[in-house]
Amino acid sequence: MRRRPAHSDAAAIPSRSAFTLCLCGLIFIMAGVTLPTPVYVFYETQWGMSATDVTLAYASYIAPLALALLTVGGISDIIGRRPVLMASFGLAALGMASFAVATDPGYVFAARLVHGLALGGGLGALASGAVDWAPAAHPTWGSVAASAGPTFGLAVGGLASGLIVDTLPAPTRTVYIVFAVIYVALAIWAMAIREPAPAGGDLRRSFIPRLGVPHTARTAFLWLIPATLVIASTGGQFNAMAPVIMRTMLHVHGSALAGAVLAVLHVSSAIGALTGGRRRPRTLILMGMAALGIGVTSILITLLAAWTPGYIVGAALSGYGVGTTFLGCVKGAAELAPAGRRSAILATVNLTNFVGLTIPLVVAGIAVALSGVAATLVGYTVAQLILIGLAILGQLRRPRRGEAA
């Protein structure tokens, strides 16, 4: 009798190790998004980069990320998770190397482009791998990891970079060398895992840009989009505009309190994701939208009243809503796809999330120049409340069958 290859034996998968790899990968590959932020001040000083240059550099990873999500975001369903993870971590290490040897802004843009490709190629495989390889005794951990991991990553990138830049020599190089080593280690770890034979499919068709949503699930997925957009726009508003908002409307100067507000947002977001693992997607999204509705409204009111404690409370409420809602969107999207096709639909969720993170900020940036911070925030909040209403309507209309308990 012909012996079956070990890689096709599902029982041979070291699921705990593979799950841990996906969780660590989600955290560290997302950390690369915020990793350069504390270093930009050195680029401004050394190379004369303007605020516009820095903004463009920050956003430059979005285009390759979107392209990768649309084309190879679901490729791990066809060729397996392991080769996709190895390639993604390898690209991420290459991006860090470009940062480390940078001598002008061109290297920075190149590094962001490469990391965008790594992020877009790896997120679908990491998120679906976390769901597939969650411990049998705790199956909800997969969705929690897929939603909380990226949030932790954004916080880890900024915090780790700030600490390394402040305490270690060569601030424009050391942080990137450290993370390049981490990515290489993750690639080696990915090489060591085994997995069942992939579902297979037409590899050539996977390179045709498309949304990875099954035809029968498109209506249900459509109703997840408003929730995904509003949580992304909320996170983007804090990540990009909190220092300007606090300086302009709360008359708070310095970065310490702005950093504390961001920490409140990310920590409460992680709490929302970590405490919602057993709830149904509908319940999570409705809870998240309620928290966000109260949060963004209170933020606007307290900013107009120049009351700093209220702004912090609003950040905490909004963060909880972001974490809870994103978990609900991940779980809801995962339920809409067959077990062997999860990475494509989760890549589409991430694409929607990054679109919501980028486009509203570009519009807000233009609006601030034309109308000022206060008027922009009023319009921004109204748009968020409209999306919250659509998200609630979508979940009330969504059929109950197929939801996880």
pLDDT at 2: 38
C-alpha to C-alpha distance for 210 and 33, rounded to whole angstroms: 24
> In degrees, to the nearest 5, what angle opens at C-alpha 83 toward C-alphas 357 and 65?
20
User: Is this structure's pTM higher than 0.95?
Assistant: no
3-state secondary structure of 244: helix
Q: List C-alpha distances in Å: 45 to 50, 99, 104, 264, 301.
A: 10, 16, 12, 30, 37
pLDDT at 389: 95
pLDDT at 404: 40
pLDDT tens digits in sequence order for the chain, 405 residues long:
333 344 444 444 456 788 999 999 999 998 888 788 777 778 877 887 765 676 677 677 877 887 887 777 667 777 778 898 999 999 999 999 999 999 888 899 999 999 999 998 888 889 888 888 888 788 888 888 887 788 788 778 877 887 787 788 888 899 999 999 999 999 999 998 877 656 555 556 555 555 566 666 677 788 888 999 899 888 877 766 776 788 788 887 655 566 677 778 878 888 888 888 778 889 999 999 999 999 999 999 999 999 999 999 999 999 999 999 988 888 888 777 665 566 667 767 777 877 777 777 677 767 777 788 888 889 999 999 999 999 999 888 765 544 443
C-alpha to C-alpha distance for 377 and 246, rounded to whole angstroms: 12
Terminal-to-terminal C-alpha distance of the chain? 43
pLDDT at 292: 96
CA-closest candidate to residue 85, choices 1, 168, 10, 29: 29
pLDDT at 7: 41
Tell how far CA 315 is from the center of its chain. Answer: 18
Q: What residues contact residue 346 under an 8 Å CB cut-off, 6+ apart?
A: 123, 124, 127, 128, 131, 146, 330, 333, 334, 337
CA-closest candidate to residue 57, choices 72, 35, 30: 35
pLDDT at 291: 96
C-alpha to C-alpha distance for 300 and 361, rounded to whole angstroms: 17
pLDDT at 10: 42
Domains and CATH numbers, the chain: 12-197 (1.20.1250.20), 212-399 (1.20.1250.20)
Give the relative orientation of helices 281-304 and 308-336 as an angle to the nearest 10 degrees.
160
